[in-house]
Structure formats: C-alpha cells, structure tokens
Amino acid sequence: MDMNKAQIGKCMEKLKVSRQNAQKSHDMDQFVDNIVAAVNGVICFDAADVILGIGTDSKVTAGRFYNCDGLESVYPYLTYGSVFLTARNTFVFRIRDLGCSDLSLEDGRDILRKQGFRDALRGFFFLNGTHIGTIDLYRYAENAFTQSDVRKLRELKQELVRCFCFLYDHRHELGSNAARARQMQKAYHLTNRLTEVLIGLLHNWEKSYIGHLLGIGESTVEKYISDLYKTIGVKSRSELLIKAGNPESWPKIPGDEDPEK
C-alpha cells in the first residue's frame, strides 16, 4: 500500500512538472505525451488515448491517440449514454464492470478484440460538474485491469483535472499546425503571442475566432498579423500558408545545419 502511495505521489509530481514545462514551451503535443508516460509509470498498459471534454470547440483536434487507430469508435455510445449524461463527478471503470442494458457492451468488446486488445480502463474527469477530459487505457495481455488500477487512476484525479484544464486553455496549440508554428517560431524568432496568432492562421481561423481563443480584440489580432507578416516576409495569408509549407525557404534554425557542408 505504501508503495502504491509512493507511485501515485511520484506520478502526480511528474504531471505537475510536465504542466509547468508546457507553460514555458507551449508544446501541447509533448505535454500530452508526458501525461501518458506519467500514468504509464503507475498503471501498465499497451495503448492509450487522451481526449478533451465534450465542451471542446469542434474546430480543434482535441484527441491524441497512441497505437489506437480505429479505436475512437470503441465507446461512442458512452459519450452520450445515460450513464455519462447523468454523471457529475469523476468516475473510473473497467469495461467488464459495466452491466447497463442500454449500452452495447458486446459491440465494444468485439471492436477491442479486432484491434487485438483484451481489456480497457476508462476515466471520466469532471470539474464542478462539467466533463473536462477522458483517458482510455488498453491492454493486449490476457491479464485484465484490476480494481487496484481503477483506484490508482481515480487517485490521480486532482492533478489530471489540472492537466485537462490547462490543455483546454491551450487547445489551439494541439496538432500538426501548432507543431509547424513552433518550428517557424524558432526560425523567425517569433514571440509566444505571435506564434499563437500564427497557429490560428495556419488553422485558417477567422480573426474574430483567434481573438476569442486568445482573449484579445479583433483589432489587436490584426496588429499581430501585420507584425507577423513583416517578420516572416509575406503580404497575405495565402503567402503565409505557402511559406509555412516550404520549410526550405525559412531561415536556418541554429543546430539544424548539415555539419558536412
């Protein structure tokens, strides 16, 4: 029992440090990787997915899957099922623990089997009655998740809720467009704010939506866009997209030069 407490404490510290590092780096994809790695230090699993809550804007790619291609359909009915909609607090369960007649459990198990998985553990995390995120864990091995695993994931609630809140606040920095923007930040020495605006432009979002996400007015967004264009050397969004898709035209990032040349 003491060993479990030590593992939980170590995991929570890793999650906290990862969140603090993400505040500096703005690399949300790496942050999600770190969340999965931290949880894997407490609970053994072969694959996982991390998904932001149902309130997440549909324009944002909020899910991050690990070795789980096709598994997003394993529990589609749970997201809007009666069990989920009536819940207001964090809860963790194993697939075998669900015995509700309105859930098509056999379909879910069949999908798991087709993907080679033998068991699944899911945690829904809530803040003030609002669903903010979900973690699904999967195993190939015959040995199933235990009630001890359920308790461990539940005990990580406090720090995982903080992680999901942070992810939601920075949801526009998830995905390949955000990764490309961070590369351009290094090449053009962009400020964090200009990089955030760049992410929105690469997503092809309207200026009003970018302002909404960043909590600034549209006129301020326009000023940042103007500064961004001058720094990168383009005159329009279309030119910016072309530039973003052609890394060879960017200034060389220190350390990326070929040492043989």
Spatial contact of 8 and 155, defined as CB atoms under 8 Å apart:
yes
pLDDT digits (tens, 9 = 90+) for 62-109: 334 443 343 444 444 333 333 444 456 777 767 666 544 333 445 556
pLDDT digits (tens, 9 = 90+) for 132-157: 888 888 888 777 899 999 999 999 99
- Residue spans of beta strands (DSSP E) within 97-235: 119-127, 130-139
DSSP code of residue 115? T
- Domains present along the chain, CATH in parentheses: 2-171 (3.30.450.40), 176-246 (1.10.10.10)
Q: How far apart are CA 189 and CA 195, in angstroms?
A: 10
Calculate the CA 47 to chain-centre distance: 15
Residue 87 corresponds to which tokens in the numbers above?
A: 């819940």
Whole-model pTM over 0.85: no
Q: How far apart are CA 86 and CA 75, in angstroms?
A: 17
Bigger pLDDT: 104 or 183?
183
Residue type, 202: L
Q: What is the pLDDT of residue 85?
A: 42
H-state helical runs in 26-175: 28-40, 76-80, 82-85, 105-114, 147-155, 157-169
- Residues in contact with 106: Cβ distance below 8 Å, sequence separation at least 6, in sequence order: none
Q: What is the pLDDT of residue 234?
A: 95
Q: Would you call 186 exposed, middle or buried from its count of C-beta atoms within 10 A (0-12, 13-18, 19+)?
A: middle
What are the C-alpha distances in Å from 143 to residues 98, 119, 176?
A: 18, 8, 36
Residue at token pair 């230090």: 41
